[in-house]
């Protein structure tokens, strides 16, 4: 397994569970240090992709979103009840949204229909009343609001539980602090495959390879003989995780649709705050750009406050009463290019993710955080069946 984010970690655990000897590589000193630890943890059911009226992105997200909780609970051996917030999310439509309130409302109802067809009878999306909206925001920049049946999980909590599961799993070994240089078949594409690494002694010969890197994956795919992937964008983003007294609370809210971001309340005084313009450090079309230096935390905190607090007054209360604020992030991979401020940008879609392969070399584009366990199950089945 190449890459010890949520995708690689879940796949390695499933392969070990199936009886394989799994080796998990990562350039970081420990697993789950990057974007898998530092993101909002939305369990995607399709609502965020209102700029894709074809519903293609929603259809692609729903199977992974519905499978996320049971699969992850099985892998970590415990309930996710302690990781989630007390309420479903609210989507607040910004006046500069690339999709207007009426179109968003129609899109949400279409997504609810897809979820009902998929067996989630409790799925809903309803407009917020004037009173509900006023309780969250008094900003004229917010044009409308919708409550939807979508929740989020604390990704730092999940990362810690997955790290524990990796350490306890039989037939699974970690090789951290190792950079992957290349993968090539020794005899045929059906294996064995040789992995070249830095340092060299960490690599070796393997029956199969799964490339789950979120940074540098296309370059390794090229060494393995896979054709070039479609145009992609790599972004390095940071956000805030905040701990306050347990008495502080705020409704989880997504500012839609464009280069805005969101607030998550995981309960017990745990919050995630992100404002896209202040958290985006690098945007590139290359997969070999070095990690940027992390900015001064005070500047990220100030930028996040400046972006979010005028829209959501609860943000100022969260930061004013913070007992701890952590700033961190990682690389995010997405097919497509363009600006989130452009309604035609391909970054508003997420329907092209999944698996590409050459024999027993599999390259996986995770798509989103919540689709990882579901894709890991597909990979484990493919390798177990010798397909």
Q: Output the pLDDT for position 104.
A: 98
Q: Which residue range is the domain that position 216 belongs to?
A: 1-41+154-230+352-387
Residue 198 within a domain: yes
Helix (H, G, I), strand (E, B) or coil at 23: strand
Angle of CA points 117, 126, 343, to nearest 5° = 85
Q: C-alpha distances in angstroms, 264 versus 40, 138, 142?
A: 7, 19, 18
Q: Output the pLDDT for position 229.
A: 72
* CATH number of 187's domain: 3.50.50.60
Q: Output the pLDDT for position 84.
A: 87
Q: Output the pLDDT for position 288.
A: 83
Burial class (CB in 10 A: 0-12, 13-18, 19+), 369: buried
Residue 11 within a domain: yes
* Pairing of the two strands 193-198 and 204-206: antiparallel
Query: Helices 372-384 & 6-17, crossing angle to 10 degrees?
Result: 40
Tell me the C-alpha distance between 143 and 145, whole Å. Answer: 7
Q: What is the pTM of this model?
A: 0.96
Work out how many domains the chain is built from and give that number: 1
- What is the full per-residue pLDDT of the chain (387 aa) written as tens digits? 999 999 999 999 999 999 999 999 999 999 999 999 999 999 999 999 999 999 999 999 999 999 999 999 999 999 999 898 778 999 999 999 999 999 999 999 999 999 999 999 999 999 999 999 999 998 999 999 999 999 999 999 999 999 999 999 999 999 999 999 999 999 899 989 999 999 999 999 999 999 999 999 999 999 999 987 789 999 999 999 999 999 998 999 999 999 999 999 999 999 999 999 999 999 999 988 999 999 999 999 999 999 999 999 999 999 999 999 999 999 999 999 999 999 999 999 999 999 999 999 999 999 999 999 999 999 999 999 885
Tell me the C-alpha distance between 185 and 206, whole Å. Answer: 9
Residue 184 within a domain: yes
Residue 16 within a domain: yes
Residue 34 within a domain: yes
| Cβ proximity of 8 and 210 under 8 Å | yes
Q: Output the pLDDT for position 387.
A: 54
**CA contacts within 13 A on the Cβ side of 380:** 23
Q: Output the pLDDT for position 239.
A: 98
């Amino acid at each position: 397994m190449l890459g010890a984010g949520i995708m690689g970690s879940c796949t390695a655990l499933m392969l070990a569970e199936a009886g394989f000897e799994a080796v998990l590589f990562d350039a970081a000193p420990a697993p789950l240090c990057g974007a898998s630890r530092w993101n909002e943890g939305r369990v995607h059911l399709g609502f965020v992709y209102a700029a894709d009226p074809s519903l293609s992105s929603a259809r692609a997200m729903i199977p992974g979103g519905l499978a996320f909780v049971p699969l992850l609970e099985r892998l970590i051996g415990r309930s996710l009840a302690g990781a989630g917030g007390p309420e479903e999310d609210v989507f607040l439509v910004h006046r500069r949204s690339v999709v207007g309130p009426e179109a968003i409302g129609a899109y949400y109802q279409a997504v609810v229909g897809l979820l009902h067809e998929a067996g989630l009878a409790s799925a809903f999306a309803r407009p917020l009343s004037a009173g509900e909206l006023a309780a969250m925001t008094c900003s004229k920049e917010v044009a409308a609001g919708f409550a939807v049946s979508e929740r989020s999980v604390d990704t730092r909590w999940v990362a810690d539980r997955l790290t524990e599961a990796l350490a306890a799993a039989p037939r699974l070994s970690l090789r951290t602090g190792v950079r992957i240089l290349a993968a090539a078949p020794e005899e045929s594409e059906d294996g064995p495959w040789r992995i070249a690494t830095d340092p060299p002694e960490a690599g070796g010969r393997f029956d199969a390879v799964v490339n789950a890197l979120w940074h540098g994956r296309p370059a390794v795919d090229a060494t393995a003989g896979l054709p070039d992937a479609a145009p992609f964008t790599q972004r390095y983003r940071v956000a805030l995780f905040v701990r306050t007294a347990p008495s502080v609370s705020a409704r989880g809210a997504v500012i839609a649709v464009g280069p805005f971001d969101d607030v998550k309340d995981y309960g017990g005084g745990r919050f995630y705050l992100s404002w896209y313009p202040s958290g985006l450090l690098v945007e590139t079309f290359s997969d070999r750009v070095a990690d940027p230096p992390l900015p001064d935390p005070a500047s990220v905190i100030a930028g996040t406050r400046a972006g979010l607090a005028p829209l959501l007054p609860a943000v100022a209360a969260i930061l004013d009463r913070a007992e701890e604020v952590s700033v961190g992030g990682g690389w995010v991979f997405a097919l497509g290019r363009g600006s989130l401020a452009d309604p035609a940008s391909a970054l508003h879609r997420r329907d092209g993710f999944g698996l590409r392969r050459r024999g027993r070399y599999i390259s996986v584009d995770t798509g989103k955080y919540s689709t990882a366990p579901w894709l890991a199950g597909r990979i484990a089945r493919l390798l177990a069946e010798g397909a």
